[in-house]
Amino acid sequence: MIGNKWDPVTSHDSAVSVARLLPSSRLVSSDGWGHTALLTSACVDNAVYDYLIHPLAPAPKITRCRGDIQPFAPSPSTH
């Protein structure tokens, strides 16, 4: 299960709820923006690819990721 914190279509809270309903599930929680988290965060991508390549490997119940692009982050100082 992948939940994107700032998804305007499918809420992060819903992803958390569904993950709780599925006892053997894993949740990848991203603080990214938009409707999709895949291809917006190397952390999310790696978690998904690891699962696809090794679906039976142990994984944390929750993986917390940061989106690589944060549209409202402060700009780096130019001074």
Model confidence pLDDT, tens digit, residues 44-61: 999 999 999 999 999 899
Q: In which domain, by residue range, is 16 found?
A: 2-65
The pLDDT confidence band at residue 36, using thresholds 50, 70 and 90, is: confident
Give a yes or no: residue 70 inside a domain: no
Please state, for a pLDDT cut of 90, what percent of the chain lies above it.
68
Total domain count, the chain: 1
From the centroid of its chain, how far is CA 2? 5
Distance CA 1, CA 17 (A): 10
Give a yes or no: residue 10 inside a domain: yes
pLDDT at 72: 78
Give a yes or no: residue 19 inside a domain: yes
pTM for the whole structure: 0.82
Give a yes or no: residue 50 inside a domain: yes
